[in-house]
Amino acid sequence: MRNLSNNKNGIILGVALLVILILIILSVAFVARAVHEKAMADREISGARALYTSEAGGQAGVGMLDTLINNYMLNTVNAANPSVVSSHAATYVGTNNPLGFLIAYVKNAGVAQLTLSGAEAVYTGSATALDGGSFTYTIRLSAKGNPSNVAANVWDFPYYYKIQTTGTKSNQSRKFTVLGDFTVRVQRDNFARYALFTNTQTMPSGSNVWFTNRTNFSGPLFTNGQFNFAYNPSGTFYDTVKQVNANGKFYNGGSPVNLNANVNGTLDVPSFQMGYNRSQTGIAMPNTTQESDMVAQATAGNTYGSAGIYVPTSGPAMAGGIYVNGDASMTMSVDGSDRAVYTITQGASTKTITVDAANNQTLVTTGATTDTYTGKPDGVDDVGTIIYVNGNLTSLGGAVQKDTQAVIATHNDVVIQNNIHYSQYTPSSGTVGQPGYVPPSAEGYGNLLGVMSWAGNIRIGTSAPNDVNVHATLMAQQGIVTVDNYNSGSPRGNATLLGGVISNNYGAFGTVSGGTGTPLTGYGRNFTYDTRMETQYTPPYFPTMNTFIAFTNDINDKKFWQTGGF
């Protein structure tokens, strides 16, 4: 019995030890598996974070590419001698060498930023720390076909871009590639890009025009003289403000002072969101040669000695634009077929010119007779509708058809007697000068108008409505943009401009109380910059400067993303 009992105890002990061993093995396996799965999870998390870091590198590369082109190249081209830029651009186009242009003009402080490597121009970004990891990127640019001479003083250089990034996190690395394309346009700079440009920031009499708390500009400003600021606040400026003089003029409580400063203590305090740059190089107004070129575009080289309204043709086809010899009035409209209509009266003669862009036709109606021609009144170079009046345009108003880009120019005065508005635009909301006011905008739409006077003024006439709207970029090359009888009568509300003003002097729009700023006569200025001008979307045939620019709008619009190695 004792041996049997001992045997049973031994068996039980052995089974217990076996169970314990199995439990230990299972526990070790479970712990090992847990450790392994945690390590795998950590690797997956690190890998995902490395991928996100790499993607961030791609975004940084896109941002740097935009800086290379729309900052470094733009500044280099703009600062270069215009004849050199023109010669280089023509040479690189003629030799089909777009990369050569990049290497030569993508510079920062005179230092080339791209290196030629075979058929690519390369930029390598430095390592950047991010969320405990880091990324690096390389931008590779290659030719997308041959560059081209689009028009006089306009060249296009097309490129592909490849941005290769490597993101690292906890010893895990992931690679990422961004692919896309863009086109650099090199062209003469255009006056239309300014919200305000003046030769002298005074009235023709020499008296100062002051920026006050009623002044707000969302686009760039430039004067070949000096700007004048009054009161606290004395205007808000959301883009660059540049002037040739070293000093600004400040009202100083009625005893004006010139200071090389942004503010005058607490008396006169303008708000500059992007700087107040003084001692800048002057920019000359366009010369009479550009007016002659505009006349040639409108007349197609013909000479018209008698007063009248002329639409140059060559047989059954349009040959130029619209030319008026003598003083005239004009109303723009859009008919029921969505066609642009210009009703022009000169003396006893009236012509209605209908532009049927959809069918590429122009209809000219005189009395009961209508003649139809192939083409549009887009000038010799087919850039856009051009209307030139060799005299005064005594009345102008109406609607700009939604797909129309036009310029209306005169040798003498232009008098705006009615609203001028785009058929397509985003209307304003709220009350001018009050919190929550949203100004009108033409962003994303195709209608565009430039109005200019070569030797006279652009005036808002006495027949214009209260709270008048003018959608156009206005230029008075030798004169001013002003309001007739601005200093008499009662307040007329606000003059809302969607565009810009370029003028020799600064014209008055109304008067206010010197003590309170309360409107007394004329209009208050409600000038809204047409932001399309920032990307050189300009009225056709609008005057250019003696400088060049280089830019692209495509970097952020044309791209696709590709993960994986490289």
> What does 201-250 look like in DSSP terms, one character per residue?
SB-TTS-B--B-TT-EE-S-EEESS--EE-SSS--EE-S-EEESSS-EEE
Q: Is 193 helix (H, G, I), strand (E, B) or coil?
A: helix
What does the pLDDT read at residue 515?
67
Please give the sequence-ordered ranges of beta strands (E in DSSP) within 233-327, or none if there are none.
Answer: 236-237, 241-243, 248-250, 257-259, 271-272, 276-277, 308-310, 313-314, 317-318, 322-325
Pairing outcome for strands 491-503 and 458-460: unpaired
Q: In sequence order, what are the beta bridge partners of 370?
A: 365
Instruction: Report yes or no: 472 and 449 within 8 Å, Cβ to Cβ.
Output: yes
Rounded to whole angstroms, the Cα distance separating 220 from 241 reads 6
What does the pLDDT read at residue 321?
98
The alpha-helical segments, DSSP class H, found in 386-495 are none
Rounded to whole angstroms, the Cα distance separating 14 from 2 reads 18
User: Phi/psi at 254 (nearest 5 deg)?
Assistant: 105, -5
Residue 404: exposure state from Cβ atoms within 10 A (0-12, 13-18, ≥19) = buried
Residue 508, amino acid: A
Rounded to whole angstroms, the Cα distance separating 334 from 401 reads 6
* The pair of three-digit structure tokens given for residue 44, joined into one six-digit string: 């997956």
Cis peptide before 440 (omega within 30 of 0): no
Rounded to whole angstroms, the Cα distance separating 425 from 444 reads 8
Instruction: Report yes or no: 441 and 528 within 8 Å, Cβ to Cβ.
Output: yes
What is the widest separation between alpha-carbon atoms in the chain?
146
What does the pLDDT read at residue 41?
45
Rounded to whole angstroms, the Cα distance separating 44 from 50 reads 10
* The pair of three-digit structure tokens given for residue 342, joined into one six-digit string: 């210009």
DSSP letter at 7 equals H
- Sign for the CA dihedral angle at 506, 510, 514, 517 comes to negative
Residue ranges of the domains in the chain?
Answer: 2-189+552-563, 191-284, 292-331+376-432+439-540
Which of 458, 454, 435, 422 is closest to 530 using CA atoms? 422
Pairing outcome for strands 216-217 and 236-237: parallel
pLDDT tens-digit profile, the chain (566 residues): 455 555 666 677 777 777 777 777 767 666 656 555 544 545 555 555 656 777 888 889 999 999 999 999 999 998 888 888 988 999 999 999 999 999 999 999 999 999 999 999 999 998 888 777 888 899 999 999 999 998 778 899 999 999 998 888 777 778 888 899 999 999 888 899 899 999 999 989 998 988 887 777 888 999 999 999 999 988 889 889 999 999 999 999 999 999 999 999 999 999 999 999 999 989 999 888 899 999 999 999 999 999 999 999 999 999 999 999 999 999 999 999 999 999 999 999 999 999 999 999 999 999 999 999 999 999 999 989 999 999 999 999 999 999 999 999 999 999 999 999 999 999 999 987 778 888 899 999 999 999 999 999 999 999 999 999 999 999 999 999 999 999 999 999 999 999 999 999 999 898 878 767 688 999 988 889 999 987 668 899 999 888 888 888 778 655 555 555 56
Q: Is 107 helix (H, G, I), strand (E, B) or coil?
A: strand
Rounded to whole angstroms, the Cα distance separating 166 from 309 reads 66
Which of 393, 445, 396, 437 is closest to 528 using CA atoms? 437
Rounded to whole angstroms, the Cα distance separating 118 from 499 reads 45
Rounded to whole angstroms, the Cα distance separating 530 from 146 reads 33
Residue 533, amino acid: M
Instruction: Report yes or no: 309 and 328 within 8 Å, Cβ to Cβ.
Output: yes
